Amino acid sequence: MNYEVEISQSGPGGSINYTENGQAMRLDWEFASDGAYVFVPTPEQWDAFWRSNKVEWAAGRRQEIIERVVEAVRQQKAQSSKVTLEDDCIRFTF
């Protein structure tokens, strides 16, 4: 499957655009004193959140998409970081 992850920064945070087959979804992120956080809907909210934002194709694919985002962020910005997946965020510790 063809996908792309683009990270943009504006001040102490920014957005991550995950694009797959020409369709995109956006996640927000921000720096913290110990690293950075990417905010994601909780497992219970994931499907309903994306459906309500007209990103139906992401429903049922939380783990797959998160793994791709983690891989891309590590490659592009945080190669030596420790990654922790929490209910509502991905935590990159530097």
Beta strands per DSSP E along the chain: 3-10, 13-20, 23-32, 35-39, 82-85, 89-93
Which amino acid belongs to residue 82?
K
Distance from C-alpha of 47 to C-alpha of 58, rounded to nearest angstrom? 7
Structural domain for 35, as ranges: 3-93
Reported confidence tier of residue 3, pLDDT bands at 50, 70, 90 = very high
- Is the Cβ–Cβ distance between 38 and 31 less than 8 Å? no
Query: For 88, how many CA atoms within 13 A lie in the half-sphere containing its CB?
Result: 2
Report the predicted TM-score, pTM, of the whole model to 2 decimal places.
0.95
pLDDT of residue 56: 98
Encode pLDDT of 60-93 as tens digits.
999 999 999 999 999 999 999 999 999 999 999 9
Encode pLDDT of 21-40 as tens digits.
999 999 999 999 999 999 99
Q: What total of structural domains would you count in the chain?
A: 1
